[in-house]
Amino acid sequence: MIPKYEAIAADIRRTIEDGALKPGDKLPTVVEFCKLYNVSKITVKRAIEQITE
């Protein structure tokens, strides 16, 4: 089983690749991601770090 932060990062990447998120679009806030995925802020921050490295 993959860590939650990796699954969230993959989901965000998929959203970008599918064209649902375009350059210049704003991502949801950390708090919104927390509610969306039912995870902690640390998990969301790690996911975002994964896609911005």
How confident is the model at residue 23, as a pLDDT?
Answer: 87
Q: Is 24 left (phi over 0), alpha (psi -120 to 50) or beta?
A: left
The H-assigned helical ranges of 18-53 are: 30-37, 41-52
pTM, two decimal places: 0.86
pLDDT of residue 20: 94
Q: In this model, does residue 53 exceed pLDDT 90?
A: no
Distance CA 43, CA 47 (A): 6
pLDDT, tens digit, for every residue of 1-44?
999 999 999 999 999 999 999 889 998 999 999 999 999 999 99
At 14 the pLDDT is 95
pLDDT of residue 46 exceeding 90: yes
Domain boundaries, the chain: 4-52
